[in-house]
Structure 1
């Protein structure tokens, strides 16, 4: 997980989804990966300036492995990127800076929301009903050449602003330089803002981001934990950093794999003498997150949770259509009170699979990853060799007179060599998932011309899954013919998806 949410890896994952669903993934700022995309960055900025001379952009440069604001700086032009220390040795992401954030008390702030990824298969996501609002400590002004370097004005990182003389530690969760997100929502609601829609947009952002991350997580997961065998229960608390624009549109800044869970801060009593002082706002939010994560993950609670799930199934589908993290349904609360009367109701709200119907159509790369994992062949590996790629092409019947196996080998070599040249994981040779996804997109564009990319990819996935379902059925028939004692070669993740007759006609129409 730590690798997956690094700035470069997150940007790659989100960009793949932006290629497929540009409108659904417009919550992530336009980004370029350095050093490999520096020429592209220069060219695109020049073209945008030529087409709109009034455009005066600002960009923010974030080192890939940086944290707590380390190494982040603002620029006005690509030529301002610092070459000291060699970007080559320290990759970075450069993003379009959001110049019109929502301000409270004339200060810029961001939101830290805690998200529990409880399970990958099946995918289970919970969001804490409250979070932290971390404020800058100088009144905000839109960036100019004169104020670009004023970090207390532009960067919301708590670890930076705590060193400002204007930082306010407060005993109230409603005031100071760190407050609860719920206190901000109350202020927005009093001004007439649609808080329910804001929560809905935030939930959508979280679910879509995790959908972008899960395919590669599954590849690493299967290499460590054998399928079908009992293993450790894996979960992760993630810290989502979100910025609200002036129009209340949430924008994803980054995801933290190991968000700070401290509930105190250091206070200098005298020169060089420090004391740890409790932080009421941190305690309010973080204690509940940790407590309820343990309640949800505790295997001893499984029977009680099953009863709770059965009770929750009676909630009407009409209620399921509204994305909100307000008070849980009465039935769910009642069961929680009955089973755990000594604890408060859960602060973690399930958003997936609860809202799966609204988002499952986005999970195309998940299905591509399932194909990739099937053809890896060797347990514990995360890269596909040339033989595995050829087997994938052959079993899915993707080669023909216009696309020979020699072309298949060239595609494999070209994409793998270029991806490996980007410095992506040299521990193994072969094709990583991102390279396989790129190759799959190329195949989809060859096979189904003149369609939007997401439709091309959907059709090719359906076609491949159908061909593999037929192949598995033939293998099972052969096994039964040879003798009932032989175990069939089954692939549940693919066998469950037999293509309906209507899809077969689609294949014929587009071949």
Structure 2
């Protein structure tokens, strides 16, 4: 992980000559490192994403050094943590670290699996410890009773772990290490993929880099190449004898680099770390359908981002409330994917801060180490950072619009941008939005949740906000009173708060609201499957809120017209019959969509 932060910028055109731009250097860069960049990028000194960003900035165009605020682009090392940024772009989304933690990711994927079981079958069956330990034991026992030949293996991953720390395999729920730390360090237990695709008899995973360029509207890019990270011992299906052989079962680079079998290679086709494109070439030579594999991976990435966006939007409105000045955000994510024997991609996890180091340590003599460049890392990561900067370059659109050229360019000098290779980042959303928009149901639930939060800057819904939601959407009736609404709120909120999700604020978090919304949908539309229940309730709520908003607008217009029509002081009042008490001058016409939903509501409740 990168633990440093800094900022750099292209200044506004009126601040500098058209042919120049200023690089705002991070305060933590030493003069020696500054000199190492020189006129030609030197990737041998980059040990963080910030260093690599600075290096790649030079490949786009030359930057005079300087310090200036505000910046066009702020580059944070770990997470979004600066509340004093009011403009520009930040390379982190608020809440991303929390959203992709193993437990939060598993909950988000489970919600989507409940709604779309076939579309989200790329994520392993998961249980959350310690709260779901009894459920885990009961479900495994039930599955074994149904199929006595089933001999599963499970993998336990600490929620806040990274680089393989604390991960272990078990064959039975009773093997879980129930120590005191399980309470203070919760974990996710998943079904282990026992039949992965092997290359050279070794298990491997894929690290793909994904750029989330915008949240609203959603814009996603995927790097055309990634890293293949190999285990260092030949793979065997897990048994009680080999469960503890981490170099056989765990693909984490940070673990396998300590193996005596780890191979550093100058070739992208060999060694313990290779390019994903080299694996695809090898599979293609064996007759595998590489195009379908890429299509499945793109689908996996888009569906995963769709599952994460509701939580991200709640954090975003909390840190950057609508209507207030603030930056826009983008972020590079690391997707870890495993291929099964049948080439089906399986999502392992999502990393908010994927390593951008393009070097490794080599021991020259006992206790003496030297940083050695890694050609594989350099080929993949430099392109990802460089093209991210090209995509978010705030001056790019201005240059296209103005088409201004300097005297040197008129003389035939090539633009730095034109000299760069084609983008390695491929847009997949909104390019393929039509195929996936139907999955964004929870996004619409999150929009309802944000609407009734009330206080800007909060991420929890209070009881008053929940009652207002029920009242405005007209979800209470003789069979579901407001007292029952309060009980539902208290029960669900108390259970989620007992899980230790977030004690900074009191109230109902988004995940608890989604559960309550599902309960309301199942209560109202009992005869429909869950997906249709939720979709129907969303449409009903949206239509009723739209009608309420229209009614308020009409009443506002009516009051304004009546105010303008009041007689001025000293003039005779208007004569004529006064409208009867309760007479509505304006009347809203219900749309056919709302009428149909109300009919469905009557039949379903």
TM-score (structure 2 length as normaliser) = 0.76
Shift of 1:500: 6.3
1:48 and 2:143 correspond = yes
Shift of 1:340: 2.9
Q: How does 1:1-80 map to 2 (within 5 A)?
A: 1-80=96-175
For the residue of structure 1 that corresponds to 2:531, the secondary structure is helix
In structure 1, the partner of 2:383 is 288
In structure 2, the partner of 1:457 is 534
Check conservation: 1:459, 1:507, Cα contact below 8 A: no
Change (3 A) 1:83 1:303: same
Aligned-residue Cα RMSD (Å) equals: 1.9
TM-score (structure 1 length as normaliser) = 0.90
1:186 and 2:264 correspond = no
Check conservation: 2:222, 2:428, Cα contact below 8 A: yes
Q: How many residues are aligned here? A: 472
For the residue of structure 1 that corresponds to 2:182, the secondary structure is coil
Counterpart of 2:595 (choices 477, 498, 504) is: 504
In structure 1, the partner of 2:419 is 342
Q: How does 1:319-468 map to 2 (within 5 A)?
A: 340-468=417-545
In structure 1, the partner of 2:394 is 299
Change (3 A) 1:307 1:40: farther
Could you tell me how far apart the structure 1 residues matched to 2:433 and 2:562 are?
Answer: 39
Q: How does 1:159-238 map to 2 (within 5 A)?
A: 159-238=254-333
Shift of 1:34: 0.1
For the residue of structure 2 that corresponds to 1:467, the secondary structure is helix
Residues 157-198 of structure 1: per-residue CA shift (max 9 Å, x gap): 000000001000000001100000000000011111110110
* Structure 1: segments with no counterpart, 5+ residues: 309-336, 487-497
Change (3 A) 1:118 1:386: same
Q: How does 1:242-257 map to 2 (within 5 A)?
A: 242-257=337-352
Q: Which one has the largest radius of gyration?
A: 2
User: Once structures 1 and 2 are overlaid, which stretch shifts more, 136-145 or 222-231?
Assistant: 222-231
User: Once structures 1 and 2 are overlaid, which stretch shifts more, 296-305 or 8-17?
Assistant: 296-305
Q: How does 1:78-227 map to 2 (within 5 A)?
A: 78-227=173-322
Shift of 1:307: 11
Shift of 1:306: 8.2
Could you tell me how far apart the structure 1 residues matched to 2:264 and 2:561 are?
Answer: 72
Check conservation: 2:333, 2:353, Cα contact below 8 A: yes
Residues 103-127 of structure 1: per-residue CA shift (max 9 Å, x gap): 0000000000000111111111100
For the residue of structure 2 that corresponds to 1:93, the secondary structure is strand
Could you tell me how far apart the structure 2 residues matched to 1:304 and 1:139 are?
Answer: 53
Check conservation: 1:114, 1:131, Cα contact below 8 A: yes
Shift of 1:232: 1.0
Check conservation: 2:461, 2:509, Cα contact below 8 A: yes
Could you tell me how far apart the structure 2 residues matched to 1:301 and 1:508 are?
Answer: 52
Residues 440-499 of structure 1: per-residue CA shift (max 9 Å, x gap): 00000011111111110000000000000001111111222222899xxxxxxxxxxx99
Shift of 1:304: 5.7
Residues 255-282 of structure 1: per-residue CA shift (max 9 Å, x gap): 0000000000000000000000000000
Shift of 1:229: 3.9
Check conservation: 1:58, 1:74, Cα contact below 8 A: yes
Could you tell me how far apart the structure 2 residues matched to 1:484 and 1:18 are?
Answer: 52
For the residue of structure 1 that corresponds to 2:360, the secondary structure is strand
Could you tell me how far apart the structure 2 residues matched to 1:427 and 1:185 are?
Answer: 47
Could you tell me how far apart the structure 2 residues matched to 1:306 and 1:184 are?
Answer: 41
